[in-house]
Amino acid sequence: MKLGRNDPCWCGSHRKYKSCHMMFDDKLEKLREQGVLVPDHSLIKTPEQIEGIKASAKINMACLDAVGEVIHAGMSTQEIDDIVYRVTTEMGGIPAPLNYQGFPKSVCTSINDVVCHGIPDEDMILEDGDIVNVDVSTIYKGYFSDSSRMFLIGNVSDNDRKLVQVTKEAMEKGLEKVRPWTHLGDMAQAVHEYVEKHGFSVVREIGGHGIGLEFHEDPWVSYVANAGEEMMMVPGLCFTIEPMVNAGKPDVVLDDEDGWTIYTEDGSKSAQWEIQVVVTETGCEVLCW
């Protein structure tokens, strides 16, 4: 169904189509005809939806701030889960991981050679020298936010510090490449080139995702793709930049017993940082970090 020039725009702006998304739609249609992978309307966030996501992100970031203030050697990952559950619910949110496809806790806590999706447990105690990723995701009034940070526990080796730092910088290199009418692969190439320059590797099988109205929306986001590949970034597209970086080989294995925890196959350490961004007319805006 084609909108008339004077019809209200599909984005909910209450503006006429011709002065809102009409040229945008024409541009997308031409690109689609040329064989470029472009997102459809369902993935384009409206200004109102972006405000909703920001409100959700406020809770998400408050959780990570609260964890960062108290995380220490001797603490269990269950205590981290307790903090995330408490802060989220006190602020009116719902922890998105809780019961998500059977995930039993409110947050993922991934220590050392755990790549991602570590399950908090009262018997899992943080030790001096550990590196740990805390991955928080929030639902608030139907809007989803998602970000993760690394924490250094006590005296961390120089190599492990470097892994954590390079991973953060790689995410930032990717962020610099997020602008409209370029490809997700442009961002991905910036990430993996930076990682490989430092002698580390990027996990291939697990990536980022679109997010906003659902926890995991299209597109799936690779960090090993190359420039010109993958979906085109257009204003309103909202997704995560969350590369997982291994000190050794990129290969990963799933823990068959719990069905969630992902480890490096070679036992090397792994780090991850995650932010959530939305593409704008001129570049992008970081919504959650």
User: Given the rule CB under 6 A, which residues bind ligand MF3?
Assistant: 97, 100, 103, 108, 117, 135, 137, 146
Return d(Cα 59, Cα 22) in angstroms, integer. Answer: 35
| Residue number closest to ligand MF3, CB atom | 97
Q: Is residue 56 within the footprint of Co ion (CB under 5 A)? A: no
Please report the beta strands in the chain, taking only residues with DSSP state E, as ranges in sequence order. 94-95, 108-111, 114-116, 131-140, 143-152, 182-183, 201-202, 208-210, 217-221, 232-233, 238-241, 244-246, 252-254, 262-264, 270-272, 275-279, 284-288
Q: Measured from the CB of residue 58, what is the shortest distance to Co ion in angstroms?
A: 17
Q: Which of 60, 145, 240, 261 binds Co ion (CB under 5 A)?
A: 240
- The answer to whether 221 touches 240, Cβ cutoff 8 Å, is yes
Q: Which of 81, 113, 130, 146 binds Co ion (CB under 5 A)?
A: 146
Q: Is residue 217 within the footprint of Co ion (CB under 5 A)? A: no
- The answer to whether 170 touches 201, Cβ cutoff 8 Å, is no
| CB closer to Co ion, 186 vs 242 | 242
What letter would DSSP give residue 273?
Answer: -
Stretch that binds Co ion, among 139-147, 159-167, 175-183, 277-285 (CB under 5 A): 139-147
| CB closer to ligand MF3, 105 vs 183 | 105
Q: Is residue 230 within the footprint of Co ion (CB under 5 A)? A: no
| CB closer to Co ion, 146 vs 160 | 146
| CB closer to ligand MF3, 179 vs 216 | 216
Q: Give the list of residues 6+ apart from residue 78 with CB closer than 8 angstroms, or none.
A: 120, 121, 122, 124
- The answer to whether 148 touches 109, Cβ cutoff 8 Å, is no
261 binds, among ligand MF3, Co ion, none (CB under 5 to 8 A by kind): none
| CB closer to ligand MF3, 63 vs 108 | 108
Rounded to 5 degrees, φ, ψ at 80 are -65, -45
Longest dimension (CA), the chain: 64
Task: Return residues touching Co ion (CB under 5 A).
Answer: 146, 240
